[in-house]
Chain A
Amino acid sequence: MELHDVWFVLIAVLWIGYFFLEGFDFGVGVLTRLLARDRREKRVLINTIGPVWDGNEVWLLTAGGATFAAFPEWYATLFSGFYLPLLVILICLIVRGVAFEYRAKRPEEKWQTNWERAIFWTSLIPAFLWGVAFANIVRGVKIDADMEYVGTVWDLLNVYSILGGLVTLTLFTFHGAVFTSLKTVGEIRERSRRLALRLGLATAVLALAFLLWTQVSRGDGKSLVAMAVAVLALLAALGFVVKGREGWAFALSGVTIAAAVAMLFLTLFPNVMPSSLNDAWHLTVTNASSSPYTLKIMTWCAAIATPVVLLYQGWTYWVFRKRIGTQHIAEPAH
């Protein structure tokens, strides 16, 4: 295995980390409207991700930075090619971060309602668009001989990619509902579980259709295994939701995300961004990657830093391990 192959795996790991973690906090954002009955319950939901959403988002920045360093051509083609969808995602992430931090900083009803509305939409839209983006990467887009994207923004909207978007949206919302059932206490926990079940069934239908489509059109033996793991984990997660074993359910909804993302990357390899115009114009792990020297330095950095990051991020979850209920939300004393 050469270093650029290692980095292909590591980029996949970073995206898996991002979707696993930010996946549930996008989901919680969507649930503020689907699940919470009043403002207090909304706050319970938001506070389950309060201490961690920012750290979760850094997985995206790291995936971006690592792609820049390890596969400059991939970084350049992807982000200049998917310019407008990425712009929408960035604007959502900007507003979303501010919404979390500023929502409770003024007591006015209108102020808080506006930020709550923002949290819902800015969680929902990226959760959908990331699926659209990844489906397009896997499907192949119009890339010319100079590695430039030559399609339009409308080319990115097709049945396959929209299905992909719906899969990530429902999967993340399901993941979020399992997370809130794990992190809350009281009546809202029960409702989280019931909603998780319904969301899980919807996810299962959509995900099965999308993954089968992917498998049939460009899969191989390895991707089939990943797909099987994703589907089985999703079903098992549903089973644990029914039984009320929330910890297991959450771990398995996480495995579903990991296996599904792994499957997409497996169907890509050794390409990183295939061209739909000409097979000779694919971006691959070889023609898009950095020099061996840069990859070596990056490998050292990742090998040392990643375990440390996992350790202290894991510790954060342990510090905030207690469930949150409405009794923990103080009326703001303004």
Chain B
Amino acid sequence: MDLALAPETLARWQFGITTVYHFLFVPLTISLAALTAGLQTAWVRTGKEKYLKATKFWGKLFLINIAMGVVTGIVQEFQFGMNWSDYSRFVGDIFGAPLAFEALIAFFFESTFIGLWIFGWDKLPKKIHLACIWMVSIGTVLSAYFILAANSWMQHPVGYRINEERGRAELTDFWLVLTQNTALTQFFHTISAAFLVGGAFLVGISAFHLARKKHVPVMRTSLRLGLVTLVIAGLMTAVSGDLLGKVMFKQQPMKMAAAEALWDGEAPAPFSVFAYGDVDKGHNKVAIEIPGLLSFLANDDFDSFVPGINDVNKAEQEKFGPGDYRPNIPVAYWGFRWMIGFGMASLTVGAIGLWLTRRKFLLPAGLRTGEDEVPHLVLFKQALSPRLTKWYWLVALWTIAFPLIANSWGWIFTEMGRQPWVVYGVLRTRDAVSPGVSTAEVLISMIGFTLLYAVLAVIEVKLLVKYIKAGPPELTEADLNPPTKIGGDDKDADRPMAFSY
């Protein structure tokens, strides 16, 4: 059969398309839930209207986004059975458990409390309503944890044995699956990267309004919150990325060698800045390198040995039998670089912004601004020229996309870098597809999902833009006077709902 149309290839494309698409919404949901909850907490504690306006504004964008995250997540729950039935049969005993936990513990939490939050403005007392958005936030983080524990098991299977008689892997230590270092570092890395997305989102949109001198009090606060989030999350992403890299060097040396296009092992091993190579012959034609850095990243030691692609391939051939155990090297190499490049670019934009808008006591007296003024962007002693200021706001707006690109490439890298395995060292991807599902069926579903997702993307982005441009809503009497009773105050019984579909 033509390789391009092999069921495995199509099923992988479909999984890739639906998962990368789903993950555009996930990190923004995780971070925006917590940030909205933070803003609402500020409102409840201080009673300042700008915080309530900010909560409503970011909360609305959060809802537009999470709707897409939820519906595209449904596909993920069933796709393993639909397209990867042999995978499901082989690993269901282990992989199914965290998925079931995720649904039972996290999804119920998220979906129930989001309903309460959306419709609860005039039905719940202030503090209980606030608790609901925190519950949603906890739900999103728990959900991430369980699914990452499941994914980590595919990256580094632990706590299982092979049952030859049943022809499957069986769980022996669930606690280990949940707490192995792969799971913990992946969780740390993914969550910080999620906040990178949320931080950039706040910064970009605040910059858009501040550049036009609109909605200044809300956007000034949001800009600050966004910048701080972006910088902290950026640093955490770098730290956790380094940790995860070290774990991967030990657990999947092939992935990391591919990420560096390091064909043959070296001691000390250099970090590759640019490489162009010949995959068939197994070497680079052009390579710009920083000596010793890779050894340091892998082992905290500038002189240590790092095995190359050809070494690992040979070792795996000896262990698992003849075959090609190399992933798609250019994808791994460039995916790794796009991930780091776009992630760190957004951190840089955040760090610059944080410095430019620094606190009053670091600013010359004449450049300090009040709460309802657009902050001056101050490099040293002087504010940036209007032209440069405009440039910064524009760059900040574009930065919204950077962490999303970084997140996508991160997943493409880590999943494609694990190939040809679906469960590293245990099950090959080609042995995981559904044997009974025809090429035509996969084509139908892949085209169907892709078209539907494309249409929904257009609708979603247009809707986001509409609400972003509209800015925070004016507050009403009802907004400022939340009910005191659960279910709503009796005097308001015939009033229109504060929120209705």
Contact = CB atoms under 8 A, between A and B. Distances in A.
Interface of A: 43, 46-47, 50-55, 57-58, 60-62, 64-66, 68-73, 75-81, 83-84, 86-87, 90-91, 93-95, 97-98, 100-106, 146-150, 290-291, 293-294, 297-298, 301-302, 305-306, 309, 312-313, 316, 318-322, 324, 327-330
Contact of A320 (B70, B102, B119, B437): B119
B103 A50 contact: no
A282 B92 CA distance: 19
B171 to A, nearest CB: 5
B171 A294 contact: yes
Given A76-B85, A79-B82, A309 B496 contact: no
Nearest to A325: B494
A83 B93 contact: no
* Shortest 4 CB-CB contacts between residues of A and residues of B: A72-B92, A79-B81, A69-B96, A330-B496
Interface in B92-119: 92-97, 99-105, 107-108, 111-116, 118-119
Contacts of A101: 63-64, 67, 501
Interface stretch (B292-300, B341-349, B444-452): B444-452
5 contacts: A54-B111, A68-B95, A73-B92, A75-B81, A76-B81
B456 interface: yes
B463 A105 contact: yes
Contact of B496 (A66, A321, A328): A328
A9 B237 CA distance: 44
A294 B100 CA distance: 11
A291 B119 CA distance: 43
Contact of A72 (B89, B116, B500): B89
Contacts of A61: 74, 77, 103, 107
Contacts of B494: 327-328
A302 B104 contact: yes
Contacts of A301: 100-101, 104-105
Contacts of B500: 43, 47, 50, 104, 328-330
Q: Which of B111, B444, B496 has the most CB of A within 10 A?
A: B111
B366 interface: no
Contact of A65 (B64, B103, B115, B445): B103
Give the interface size class of chain B: 35 or more
Contacts of A95: 71, 452
Nearest to B70: A97
B83 A80 contact: yes
A55 B108 contact: yes
A65 B77 contact: yes
Given A294-B171, A306-B104, A58 B85 contact: no
Contact of A322 (B71, B115, B487): B487
B361 interface: no
Interface of B: 63-64, 67-68, 70-72, 74-75, 77-78, 80-83, 85-86, 88-89, 91-97, 99-105, 107-108, 111-116, 118-120, 123-124, 163, 168, 170-172, 174, 434-437, 441, 444-445, 448-449, 452, 456, 459, 463, 466-467, 486-488, 493-497, 500-501
Nearest to A88: B448
A98 B92 contact: no
A57 B77 CA distance: 12
Contacts of A321: 487
Given A72-B93, A80-B85, A328-B494, A319 B104 contact: no
Q: Is the interface of B mostly helix, strand, loop or mixed?
A: helix
A90 B74 CA distance: 7
A91 B63 CA distance: 20
A328 B497 contact: yes
B100 A68 contact: yes
A333 B83 CA distance: 46
A84 B68 CA distance: 22
Given A51-B119, A149-B436, A64 B104 contact: no
A328 B111 CA distance: 24
Contacts of B452: 91, 94-95
A64 B115 contact: no
A302 to B, nearest CB: 7
Given A98-B71, A290-B93, A291-B171, 18 more contacts: A65-B99, A68-B100, A72-B89, A80-B82, A83-B445, A94-B74, A94-B75, A102-B67, A102-B459, A102-B463, A291-B93, A301-B100, A301-B104, A312-B113, A322-B487, A322-B488, A328-B494, A329-B496
A313 B108 CA distance: 8
Contacts of B67: 97-98, 101-102
Given A51-B115, A98-B71, A297 B77 contact: no
Nearest to B161: A291
Contact of A58 (B68, B108, B168, B487): B108
Contacts of B120: 51, 319
Contacts of B467: 105
Q: Which of B92, B113, B171 has the most CB of A within 10 A?
A: B92
Contacts of A60: 74
Nearest to A289: B93
A3 B482 CA distance: 48
